[in-house]
């Protein structure tokens, strides 16, 4: 669950437009979703994207795109994910890729990542995908899904997906 410092950090990021509501730019033919397979959060992330498009090609695995920024032990996962993204782009002909991480995250916690590190790795993974995936006019949208629930087994719907404005991260040089 989120602690008070993390809640304040998210509020600060929203106030500085680092996190913003998901853009209507996704209202296109479809999106390729690269995300974590976490059963507590996958459904909410998927349903949220359906507000913008019914056509979602999901590529989900533990940690999602966070693995693209981990050390060498994740090399094969990174390569496999990159190949799967490329195959999806080639097969579907879609040009929008959503890279979504979430907080809290078990993989991030087990690798001792903080919320700011997850945000930065999500942006780094998005940049990596943008430079490595072939296709015309590929657009990559980094997202952060936040679970604000206190008692996850009892409360529903207190989750939120934000688009990460990576230009604001660079401007502010987030040093949290």
For residue 55, what are the domain limits?
4-172
- For residue 25, the domain's CATH number is 3.40.1050
Confidence (pTM): 0.87
pLDDT for residue 146 is more than 70:
yes
pLDDT for residue 138 is more than 90:
yes
Number of domains in the chain: 1
Spell 69-89 as b/e; 16+ CB within 10 A means b: bbeeebeeebeebbeebbebb
pLDDT for residue 115 is more than 70:
yes
């Amino acid at each position: 669950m989120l602690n008070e410092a993390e809640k304040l950090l998210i509020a600060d990021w929203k106030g500085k437009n680092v996190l913003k509501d998901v853009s209507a730019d996704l209202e296109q033919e479809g999106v390729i979703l690269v995300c974590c397979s976490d059963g507590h959060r996958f459904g909410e992330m998927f349903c949220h994207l359906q507000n913008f498009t019914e056509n979602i090609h999901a590529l989900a695995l533990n940690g999602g795109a966070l693995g693209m920024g981990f050390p060498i032990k994740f090399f094969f996962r990174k390569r496999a994910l990159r190949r799967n993204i490329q195959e999806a782009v080639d097969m579907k002909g879609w040009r929008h890729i959503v890279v979504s991480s979430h907080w809290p995250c078990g993989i991030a916690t087990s690798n001792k990542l903080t919320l700011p590190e997850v945000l930065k790795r999500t942006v780094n993974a998005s940049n990596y995908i943008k430079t490595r995936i072939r296709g015309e006019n590929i657009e990559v949208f980094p997202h952060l899904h936040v679970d604000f629930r206190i008692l996850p087994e009892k409360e529903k719907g207190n989750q939120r997906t934000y688009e990460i404005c990576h230009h604001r991260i660079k401007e502010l040089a987030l040093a949290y």
